[in-house]
Amino acid sequence: MPKIVSGTLRSVSFDVDPYSTGTVFSGIPTDSTTQLQSAWSPTEPLYYLDVASPPWIFCHDLSILQELSDALAVPQELDERFALWTLTGLPAGQFGLSPMRTPWLHIKQVPAGIVVTIDIEAERLRFDRAPQPFWNTEQVSTRYACDRIAEAFADSVSRCTSTPAAVLASGGIDSSAVVGASCAVGRRPHLFTNIYPAAPETNEETYVNALHETYRLPVMPITSQPASLFAYAQRQSRPFRGLFRADDQLVIEQAHALGLEVILDGLGGDELFAVRDYPIGRLSHSANARALLPAHTWSQIYGKHRPNIPDDPLLPPFVTGIDEQELLWEFKFRPLLEMDCPDRVMRRAYSLMFESNFWEESQWLSREVFEPQGLKRRHPFISIDVLSATLSAPQRTFRRTPVTKPLQRRALRKYLPTPIATRYGGAEQTANVMLNLQHSHEDIIDTLTTSALRSSNAHIDGDQLDHYYQTGLAPASSYEGGPTNFDHFWSALCYDRWAAQWGIPA
Q: What is the pLDDT of residues 458-481, one digit of tens each?
A: 433 445 444 544 444 433 333 233
**CB 375 within 8 Å of CB 260:** yes
For residue range 268-305, list pLDDT tens digits in order: 787 677 644 333 233 333 333 344 444 444 333 333 33
DSSP letter, residue 447: I
221 in the same domain as 362: yes
177 in the same domain as 196: yes
**CB 420 within 8 Å of CB 193:** no
**CB 189 within 8 Å of CB 263:** no
User: Which pTM value belongs to this model?
Assistant: 0.54
What is the arithmetic mean of pLDDT over 311-319? 29
Would residue 285 count as lying in a domain? yes
The domain that holds 354 is classified in CATH as: 3.40.50.620
492 in the same domain as 343: no
**CB 23 within 8 Å of CB 14:** yes
Task: Tell me which residue of 178, 232, 237, 193 sits closest to 360, measured CA to CA.
Answer: 237
293 in the same domain as 368: no
Task: Tell me which residue of 147, 150, 170 sits closest to 158, measured CA to CA.
Answer: 150
119 in the same domain as 79: yes
Beta strands in 324-431 (DSSP E): 376-378
What's residue 498's pLDDT? 45
Which residues constitute the domain of residue 445?
280-315+432-501
Task: Tell me which residue of 308, 327, 328, 253 sits closest to 498, measured CA to CA.
Answer: 327
For residue range 359-405, list pLDDT tens digits in order: 545 666 677 778 889 999 888 987 767 876 776 677 566 554 455 68
416 in the same domain as 473: no
What's residue 481's pLDDT? 34
Q: Give 129's contacts (C-beta < 8 A, 6+ positions apart).
A: 44, 46, 110, 111, 112, 113, 114, 115, 116
What's residue 336's pLDDT? 46
173 in the same domain as 311: no
348 in the same domain as 210: yes
Of 328 and 396, the one with more pLDDT: 396
What is the arithmetic mean of pLDDT over 2-7? 50
* CA distance to 33, 122, 404, per residue, from 8 (Å): 16, 10, 51
Could you give phi then psi for residue 439, rounded to 5 degrees?
-80, -10
- The structural domain count of the chain equals 3
162 in the same domain as 65: no
Counts of helices then strands in the chain (DSSP H, E): 20, 14
Of 2-16, 201-215, 218-232, 379-393, the range with the lowest mean pLDDT is: 2-16
